[in-house]
Every structure is written in C-alpha cells, then in structure tokens.
Amino acid sequence: MAQVTGARAAGAPWAMLAELTHACPLRCPYCSNPTELAARSSELTTAEWRRILQEAAALGVVHCHLSGGEPLLRRDLAEIVAAADRAGVYTQLVTSGVGLTERRVDELAAAGVRSVQLSVQSATAGESDRIAGVASFERKERAAAAVIASGLPLGLNVVLHRANLDAIAEIIELGLAWGVERIELANTQFYGWGLRNRSALLPTREQLARAEAVVREYREKTEVELIWVVPDYFDGVPKPCMGGWGAISITVAPDGRVLPCPAAYDLPLELPNARDRRLGWIWERSPAFNAYRGTGWMREPCASCPRRELDFGGCRCQAYALTGDASRTDPACALSPDHGLVEGLVAGGAWTYRRAAPSGDGRDRRAP
C-alpha cells in the first residue's frame, strides 16, 4: 500500500464505487442518484479511469463496484475492467441487466470481472416493468442465465418499498430459481430522485414487519445469503452510514468528481475532481473528505452520546436533506431534536419516474 501523508490520520479506503455513467435505460422512481445527473459528454475517458484505478489501488482499494446508471452503456467497460484487474482491484458489475448479452458477459469475464449484481424491481414481469418504467424483465432474466452459464457468481439486488414489499417471498423464490448466491433486499433510502417520491414509496410498519418475518423464514430454509437492509425511518436508530464519513470508501462520479458518499452530490461541499488532483490527496487532505470524519465535528446530542463511535451520528446526507444542515444529528435518530421530521410522515400518492441523464451532445442515450 502506498504511503500517503495528510493533515490528519485517515485509514486507507478499501472500497471504491466507480459510477461510470449516469445514463440508464430504466426509470426507477426510487433512484438515489442526484436529481441533476452528469451529462454523457462530461464523462471520464478510458485513460482517465485507467489512471484513477491505479491511484485507487496504490491508496489501498481492493474492491470496486462498477456502477452508474448503467455501466454497460460504456463501450469501453471491458477495458476498464481489465485496467482494474491489472491494478489488482477486484471488480463487481452492478447492472440492470439490460444489454448484458452472453457475448458481453464473456467479454467482461475474460477481462477479469469477478461477480455480477443484477437489479430486479419485483417478482413478475408486469410488476417489475411497471416499477422500472420500462419493459426490461425478460432481458434481466436472459442476463441472469448468461451470467450463470459463464460461471460468474450472481447476486440479486432489490430495492424495497410499498409497491413490492408484499411480494418478498416471490422475489426470493425468483432469485432461487435464477440460481443466485446472494439476494440484497434493500429498503429504499430516500436520497436524490427517490426523496421526491418518498410519500409514494414509504411502506407501512405492518408491511415491514411481515416482510422481515418472511426473510427470517427463508434464512432457515435456504443456503442463499439474504441481506436485509433496514429501513431508515422506523425504529429511531440511525444507520452507521458509509461506515463513517471518509472512513472506508470512495465514490468517483462519471465526470471525475470524488465523493465520500454516493449521495453527497447536493451537500454544500467543494467536491474535488480526480481530473485535477490525485486520489491520495483527495482522500487525505481535501476539505470534503475531512468535513465529517471522526467525531470532532459533532454537536449535541451526538457529541456526548455513547453510540457516537458506533453510528457516527447517522447519515450526513439525510441530515442535510431534511434539515438543511449536514452537521446536525440524523433525524432518523430518536434522540435528534429533528426526529419529528421522519415521524408521522403521510404516505400516499403517485410516483414520478426518473428522468434520463442529459447527453450533452444531443444524442439519445436511453437505449443501450
């Protein structure tokens, strides 16, 4: 691992989220990407990604999620995978499955991708397509078969909300039928575009209790790993978001901005850019990465709370989105003076589908 010196002692990041593009064929209403997406014309080049991956490896990164948007929309995806592999960084492809043909799977496997995480929106074609806003379920099914045929490990990722929580048993059965090794059942986190659809997506307490009971039952009867990502607003306990700010992971946006968290686009931070600065400097010294590191920035009630080293005061992005001040205690915490902002929220209404990323060059980027 490269030695970096900095204004304060920061451990090395071990994980990187590489958002290769914000363009996506789907229109999911829960999308946590920012409301203002990076234009395709602003995206990093292959050579820039190659350099960033080398810098990431030198900094200590060993695992990289290749995500977006839809990373398959990058024609140079196999070159980026190969660059990561040469740098010694393990890559996982995070995809909608749209465009993941057998040929593409084989090309990526040959380049060194180690696993695939496939999203699905519900258990049936009709419901999955309705939530995605685009007919895509059949292509996901074919993509899953192609990944299994290639021998790569396959995981399923399902974002949960009011419209699909009651189908959780069928969703798990779908994953088992597709031959996955792991199913991530992630209750919606309300960031970016998803925050504007919060009322339409918010589940009931009863739905959550029923779904969690189903997950417990399946854990008894299947070897497949079932990850239940708890919802934010219901038990008064904040999540230890990102494992702490600037503590273990680094996000690189399609246009080179570097963030301590994938939802931090809207925070009032001067985001450094990998086009201008080396990742080592960004990680160690940039004001953005140091803004909420450790516990020194905390105010009460976090500053004297015995849980402050366990949950780091919760989520900075949520504190900012809900209170306009990222240094306040996460309103998800029952001890927060702002907890009323997440209690008694009124659910209901229709969602608005995600709008597409601007191309910046007048071309349509919807179809892969």
Contact residue for ligand FES among 123, 261, 274, 291 (CB under 6 A) = 261
For the sheet containing 154-160, what is the strand order?
225-229, 182-187, 154-160, 115-119, 90-95, 63-67, 15-19, 249-252, 258-259
The partner in contact with residue 315, picked from ligand FES, ligand SF4, none with C-beta cut-offs of 5 to 8 angstroms by kind, is ligand FES
Cα separations (Å) of 115 from 26, 222, 242, 365? 22, 21, 22, 26
Q: Which residues contact 26 (CB under 8 A, 6 or more apart)?
A: 70, 96, 98, 119, 132, 133, 134, 136, 354
CB 317 within 8 A of CB 332: no
Contact residue for ligand FES among 20, 87, 211, 242 (CB under 6 A) = 242
CB 74 within 8 A of CB 82: no
Q: Is 241 an interacting residue with respect to ligand FES (CB under 6 A)? A: yes
- Determine the Cα–Cα distance for residues 117 and 130; give it in Å rounded to an integer: 21
Q: Is 257 an interacting residue with respect to ligand FES (CB under 6 A)? A: no
Could you tell me the smallest distance in angstroms from the CB atom of residue 83 to ligand FES? 27
CB 22 within 8 A of CB 357: yes
The partner in contact with residue 269, picked from ligand SF4, ligand FES, none with C-beta cut-offs of 5 to 8 angstroms by kind, is none
**In 3D, which of 267, 259, 265 has the Cα closest to residue 242?**
259
Contact residue for ligand FES among 143, 317, 333, 342 (CB under 6 A) = 317
The partner in contact with residue 78, picked from ligand FES, ligand SF4, none with C-beta cut-offs of 5 to 8 angstroms by kind, is none
Could you tell me the smallest distance in angstroms from the CB atom of residue 237 to ligand SF4? 7
Q: Which residues contact 180 (CB under 8 A, 6 or more apart)?
A: 118, 144, 154, 155, 156, 224
> Residues within the annotated binding site?
24, 28, 31
Q: Is 315 an interacting residue with respect to ligand FES (CB under 6 A)? A: yes
Q: Is 316 an interacting residue with respect to ligand FES (CB under 6 A)? A: yes
Chain residue at closest Cβ approach to ligand SF4: 305
The partner in contact with residue 333, picked from ligand FES, ligand SF4, none with C-beta cut-offs of 5 to 8 angstroms by kind, is ligand SF4
Residue with tokens 């009971």: 213
The partner in contact with residue 96, picked from ligand SF4, ligand FES, none with C-beta cut-offs of 5 to 8 angstroms by kind, is none
Could you tell me the smallest distance in angstroms from the CB atom of residue 306 to ligand SF4? 7
Of 207-215, 269-277, 312-320, 356-364, the window that binds ligand FES (rule: CB under 6 A) is 312-320
Site for ligand FES in 168-227 (CB under 6 A): 191
3-state helix, strand and coil shares in percent for the chain, rounded to the nearest 5: 40, 15, 50
The partner in contact with residue 313, picked from ligand SF4, ligand FES, none with C-beta cut-offs of 5 to 8 angstroms by kind, is ligand SF4
Q: What is the dihedral of CA 206, 209, 213, 216, to 10 degrees?
A: 160
Q: Is 321 an interacting residue with respect to ligand FES (CB under 6 A)? A: no
Looking at the Cβ atoms of 197 and 336, the one nearer to ligand SF4 is 336
CB 211 within 8 A of CB 241: no
Q: Is 264 an interacting residue with respect to ligand FES (CB under 6 A)? A: yes
**In 3D, which of 46, 64, 125, 140 has the Cα closest to residue 368?**
140
**In 3D, which of 96, 164, 72 has the Cα closest to residue 126?**
164
The partner in contact with residue 263, picked from ligand SF4, ligand FES, none with C-beta cut-offs of 5 to 8 angstroms by kind, is ligand FES
Binding site for ligand FES (CB under 6 A): 191, 241-242, 261, 263-264, 315-318
